[in-house]
Amino acid sequence: KQEVTQIPAALSVPEGENLVLNCSFTDSAIYNLQWFRQDPGKGLTSLLLIQSSQREQTSGRLNASLDKSSGRSTLYIAASQPGDSATYLCAVLHGGSQGNLIFGKGTKLSVKP
Amino acid sequence: EAGVTQSPTHLIKTRGQQATLRCSPISGHTSVYWYQQALGLGLQFLLWYDEGEERNRGNFPPRFSGRQFPNYSSELNVNALELEDSALYLCASSLGVGRDTGELFFGEGSRLTVL
């Protein structure tokens, strides 16, 4: 059974710091991995999608990497800003999951001015 | 271009009642997914529809049901509401079977409160 774990559960950093959020999954037979952002009480905003054949994706100050063999992904946020404060969710689409995106519990990020 | 839209934003019901939630996918998307986000439980997969057919179902009782209409919009019905059904219900869409990159786009959610 595929399980997704995100560490740490919460993170507080001063503005301007570079930071790394971690995601691990137990079964490497994934179709893709997606990073989302969720503001309190709101829906999910797609940040980056990494297909199983890719090693990383970049969008602006965000960079996500994927290492299938070790079952890990990292989301790197450069020069953090208070507006980056949110919960970041990692989700994997398992090879045979038929549309069932499996989510981690998220990392709650707080960026202090 | 409009994103995934959900209605209502908030819904308050009492135990035993029925709730209906609605979702319109991004234009051109044929797959619609429903997820439940209950406090402390994370996001859990409920249902997946594509081209009007139910493609997969998560580990939820039969009182959770839904359908997809010819215009690809979808509704989720929850019968015989229980207190633990209180949650944020999120709808997502993707391009659809055979065309998909696997990227899901989510709406803002419908907050269901059961009293």
* Model confidence band, residue B97 (pLDDT cutoffs 50, 70, 90): confident
| Tokens encoding B73 | 């919009």
Q: Which of residues 46-85 of B touch A (CB under 8 A)?
A: 48, 50, 55-56, 58
The residue type of A12 is: S
pLDDT at A92: 93
Q: List chain A residues with CB under 8 Å of B43.
A: 89, 91, 101, 103
| pLDDT at residue B101, as a whole number | 74
Residues of chain A with pLDDT below 50 are none
Q: Is there a contact between A101 and B88 if contact means CB atoms under 8 Å apart?
A: no
Q: Does B45 touch chain A (CB under 8 A)?
A: yes
Average pLDDT rounded to a whole number, residues B29-56: 92
Q: Count CA atoms closer than 13 A to A4's CA, side-chain side.
A: 28
Question: Residue A76: which residues within 8 A CB-CB, separation 6 or more?
Answer: A18, A19, A20, A62, A63, A64, A65
For residue A84, report the phi and psi dihedrals to the nearest 5 degrees.
Answer: -80, -10
pLDDT-wise least confident of A90-104, B3-17, B33-47: A90-104
In a 10 Å sphere around its CB, with 0-12 CB exposed, 13-18 middle and 19+ buried, how is residue B6 labelled?
buried
Mean pLDDT calculated for residue range B7-32: 96
In percent, the amount of chain A with pLDDT more than 90 equals: 81
Average pLDDT over residues B57-74: 96
Q: How far apart are CA A93 and CA A67, in angstroms?
A: 15
Lowest mean pLDDT among A75-84, B16-25, B34-43: B34-43
Q: Which residue has the higher pLDDT, B45 or B96?
A: B45
Task: Tell me how far apart the terminal alpha carbons of chain B are, to the nearest angstrom.
Answer: 37
Q: How many angstroms separate the CA of residue B80 from the nearest CA in chain A?
A: 25
What average pLDDT does this structure show over B100-105?
82
A22 contacts: CB under 8 Å, gap ≥ 6 = A6, A7, A8, A72, A73, A74, A107
Reply yes or no on whether the pLDDT at B90 is more than 90: yes
Q: In chain A, what is the greatest distance between 2 CA atoms, to the nearest angstrom?
A: 44
pLDDT interval class at B102 (50, 70, 90): confident
Work out how many CB contacts closer than 8 A connect A with B: 62
